[in-house]
Amino acid sequence: MIKEIKNENKVKMEKAIQNLKEELSSIRAGRANPKILDRVMVEYYGTPTPLNQLANISCPEARMILVQPWDPKSIPDLEKAIIKSDLGFNPGNDGKVIRLVIPQLTEDRRKELVKLAKKQGEESKVAIRNIRRNTNTALKNAEKEGLITEDELKSVEVEIQKITDEEIKKIDEIISAKNIEILEV
């Protein structure tokens, strides 16, 4: 019983950390990163389709993303979707590939992105704390039902708190690394 509750707690916390990493990967720092385009949806034959399913996306240079569509006829649709995505790119194409030049970030924009990263980090910390609270509630209910003893409850609550502290420390490290990436010129 206790082991199941602890495992479920760990899995949920790991999912929260993974979600944070995915959210942060969509924040563009000063250099090219193909993951920036992961959320771009293209209207392709009447169906919204992720850009990365319609093209090969690569970074041949530090400030350039190259989008090479499988179907060259889809280039106008891909360009339209990139412009509509509000990422601040001005796509250019030569009929075969789309080139996205990453503009240099201004100091103000870098500060805004740092604030956004911190906000996402705080939201993840809240999620971790909510998971801890729900786990502790499940443990207290198990104790009320006589499935675990009061001593086991106290012991497991201490373990859950240690796990929570470790996960929050991971979040701080992830946010710190992202902030360094955003602020480096």
Q: Is the pLDDT of residue 103 over 80?
A: no
**Do 180 and 133 have their domain in common?**
yes
**Do 17 and 49 have their domain in common?**
no
**Do 74 and 143 have their domain in common?**
no
Range with lowest mean pLDDT among 4-18, 30-44, 141-155, 170-184: 30-44
Work out the pLDDT band at 108, boundaries 50, 70, 90. confident
**Do 172 and 115 have their domain in common?**
yes
C-beta of residue 65 within 8 angstroms of C-beta of residue 37? yes
Residue 80 φ/ψ, nearest 5 degrees: -60, -45
**Do 73 and 128 have their domain in common?**
no
Domain boundary among the residues 61, 81, 101 is at 101
In degrees to the nearest 10, what's the CA dihedral of 62, 54, 39, 111? 20
Q: Residue 103 and residue 31: Cα distance in Å, rounded?
A: 9
Work out the pLDDT band at 105, boundaries 50, 70, 90. confident
**Greater pLDDT, 34 or 143:** 143
**Do 111 and 175 have their domain in common?**
yes
Question: Domain limits at 149?
Answer: 1-28+106-184
Say how many domains are in the chain.
Answer: 2
Mean pLDDT across 47-72: 88
Q: What is the pLDDT of residue 121?
A: 94
CATH label of the domain that carries residue 169: 1.10.132.20
Q: What percent of the chain has pLDDT over 90?
A: 38
**Do 114 and 142 have their domain in common?**
yes
**Do 155 and 88 have their domain in common?**
no
Domain boundary among the residues 101, 119, 144 is at 101
Q: What is the 3-state secondary structure (H, E, C) of 110-135?
A: HHHHHHHHHHHHHHHHHHHHHHHHHH
The model's pTM is 0.71
Q: What percent of the chain has pLDDT over 70?
A: 97
DSSP secondary structure string, 132-171? HHHHHHHHHHHHHTTSS-HHHHHHHHHHHHHHHHHHHHHH
Mean pLDDT across 97-106: 84
Q: Is the pLDDT of residue 83 over 80?
A: yes
**Do 97 and 110 have their domain in common?**
no
Work out the pLDDT band at 159, boundaries 50, 70, 90. very high
Nearest in space to 43 (alpha carbons), one of 92, 81, 72: 81
**Do 85 and 111 have their domain in common?**
no
**Do 139 and 85 have their domain in common?**
no
**Do 137 and 168 have their domain in common?**
yes
In the chain the first and final C-alpha atoms are separated, in Å, by 51
Work out the pLDDT band at 28, boundaries 50, 70, 90. low
Q: Is the pLDDT of residue 184 over 90?
A: no
Q: Report how far Cα 3 is from the mean position of its chain's Cα atoms.
A: 29
Work out the pLDDT band at 30, boundaries 50, 70, 90. low
CATH label of the domain that carries residue 51: 3.30.1360.40
Domain boundary among the residues 52, 75, 101 is at 101
| pLDDT tens column, 134-150 | 999 999 999 999 888 98
Q: What is the pLDDT of residue 133?
A: 95
